[in-house]
Amino acid sequence: MKTSADVVVIGGGIMGASTAYHLAKRGATNVVVLESGEMFGLGSTGLNAGGIRYQFATAVNIELSKLSIGMMERFATEMDQQLGLRRCGYLFMLDRDEDLAQFRKNVAVQNKHGVPSEIVDAQQIGELAPEVNLDGIIGGSWCPRDGLVDPNGLLQGYVSNARRLGATLLTSTPATAIDVHGGRIQRVVTPAGSIETETVVIAAGPWSAAIGAMAGIDLPIQPIRRQIAVTDAIAGLRPDFPFVIDFSQSLYFHREGAGLLTGMSNNDEPPGFITTVDEDWKMHHLEHAMERLPLLGDAGIAAEWAGLYEVTPDDQPILGRLPGIDGLVCCAGFSGHGLMHGPAAGLLMAEEILDGRAHTIDIDALRWTRFETGASVGEYNVV
Ligand SMILES: Cc1cc2nc3c(=O)[nH]c(=O)nc-3n(C[C@H](O)[C@H](O)[C@H](O)COP(=O)(O)OP(=O)(O)OC[C@H]3O[C@@H](n4cnc5c(N)ncnc54)[C@H](O)[C@@H]3O)c2cc1C
């Protein structure tokens, strides 16, 4: 194992792999990624729903989506890795006046940033998704450019291309300590030995608070269980079935293979690292899913799993240099929408490290200091 590196990245999910790739692409190849798992992608990156969307409330998230999805469009050519990018569109369905009022504002911000989203009424929702039971739905929003990618393809593209460019990516190698002296990073400790370094990137997803604690920094990132079920093949399911979200219930569906993937967030789920399926919540979820999408009544469950969202107090990631310790950078806390922002986040972290400051997008709204200054602006479009 290397005994020194210019940058040590802790965590081999989409954030760590994308950061390593973008550093190496800029010529900074003396980079080591430490992943505790036996394979890359055993954390949230391998357990998510694969959704990509421009439909956010904050300008910075819309810009992160624009940058990331543009990179995904070029991925197959530039990275020699298929992504299965599908533009099925995201259809948000709303049943509360206050949500509709807020979504009108969100769509105005999206349009200002060049996103072709629109507010739709219940009749238009019925035309876009005739399979859905529209009881109580008063309107929604639709963007035909939103869609899906293969999460594993995205991750493996970054892992293999970071390695091709000269970065070192290790599995089964957890960071167990970070030595800090005089306000500067000295080294990262692993069971296989220590790596001297001046720069550490925290990219450990739901486990990031523990990594911050190793350096004496309090990162408000909590692991929250979220679960998914995928059905058997459903006869007659159309190929262009959209990504449908019943917003007030945090309930969603999209086509997965010849069946449907569905998830529903339990907003009373306590923080914790348990990733077994909660059987009670599963029954609640499937009951509500069948009410909203009656064709599910005839479908069997082919697969189910639970993973962890990495949630911050304002549902926004913590990006960039952390205060008080030179060389400590955070790329974590994406609060359930990180797969789609991984490409952009890695590029921005490479800029933050090599150029002193991220500049392709202004990330000031996402810096840790927002919690001290009270300048945090929450994301509304969280599922
Ligand atoms: C059910 C579910 C559905 C989701 N749906 C979507 C979606 O549709 N679209 C979307 O964009 N996002 C979605 N997300 C969120 C998305 O998966 C995450 O935001 C994203 O994967 C976070 O990536 P990460 O690299 O920060 O974390 P992770 O992928 O969790 O990677 C962190 C890595 O750090 C490693 N690690 C931990 N501790 C250490 C240590 N001490 N040393 C070394 N390595 C360590 C872990 O093993 C892990 O591999 C979903 C998440 C879940 C759970």
Instruction: Give distance in angstroms: CA of 284 to centre of ligand 1.
Output: 25
Task: Record the tokens describing residue 168, joined without a space.
Answer: 């070192």
Structure-token match 């819309």, residue found: 62
pLDDT value at residue 256: 96
Residue 136 has pLDDT above 90, yes or no: yes
Instruction: Give distance in angstroms: CA of 46 to centre of ligand 1.
Output: 7
- Does this model's pTM top 0.85? yes
Determine the longest span between alpha carbons in the chain, in angstroms: 65
Residues 316 and 318: their CA atoms lie apart, in Å, by 7
Q: How many CA atoms lie within 13 A of 316 on its CB side?
A: 27
Q: In the structure, what pLDDT confidence band is assigned to residue 279 with cuts at 50, 70 and 90? A: very high
**Residue 170 near ligand 1, beta carbon < 6 Å:** no
Cα–chain-centroid distance for residue 71? 15
313-349 confidence digits (pLDDT tens): 999 999 999 999 999 999 999 999 999 999 999 999 9
**Residue 250 near ligand 1, beta carbon < 6 Å:** no
Residues 52 and 60: their CA atoms lie apart, in Å, by 15
Structure-token match 């969307």, residue found: 53
Q: Is 152 exposed, middle or buried (0-12, 13-18, 19+ CB in 10 A)?
A: middle
Cα end-to-end distance, the chain, whole Å: 41
How many CB atoms sit inside 10 A of residue 10's CB?
28
Nearest to 205 by CA among 319, 43, 328, 23: 43
47-84 confidence digits (pLDDT tens): 999 999 999 999 999 999 999 999 999 999 999 999 99
**Residue 309 near ligand 1, beta carbon < 6 Å:** yes
Residues 284 and 296: their CA atoms lie apart, in Å, by 14
Q: Is 102 exposed, middle or buried (0-12, 13-18, 19+ CB in 10 A)?
A: middle
Instruction: Give distance in angstroms: CA of 138 to centre of ligand 1.
Output: 34
92-133 confidence digits (pLDDT tens): 999 999 999 999 999 999 999 999 999 999 999 999 999 999
Alpha carbon nearest to ligand 1 atom 25, residue: 13
199-253 confidence digits (pLDDT tens): 999 999 999 999 999 999 999 999 999 999 999 999 999 999 999 999 999 999 9
Residue 158 has pLDDT above 90, yes or no: yes
28-53 confidence digits (pLDDT tens): 999 999 999 999 999 999 999 999 99
**Residue 37 near ligand 1, beta carbon < 6 Å:** yes
Beta strand ranges found along 207-334 (DSSP E): 222-231, 243-246, 251-256, 259-264, 301-311, 318-321, 328-332
pLDDT value at residue 375: 87
Task: Record the tokens describing residue 126, joined without a space.
Answer: 């019925």
Tell me which long-range contacts 358-361 makes (C-beta under 8 A, separation of at least 24): 358/319, 358/320, 360/67, 361/60, 361/63, 361/64, 361/67
Alpha carbon nearest to ligand 1 atom 32, residue: 204
pLDDT value at residue 86: 96
Phi, psi of 265 (to 5 degrees): -80, 130
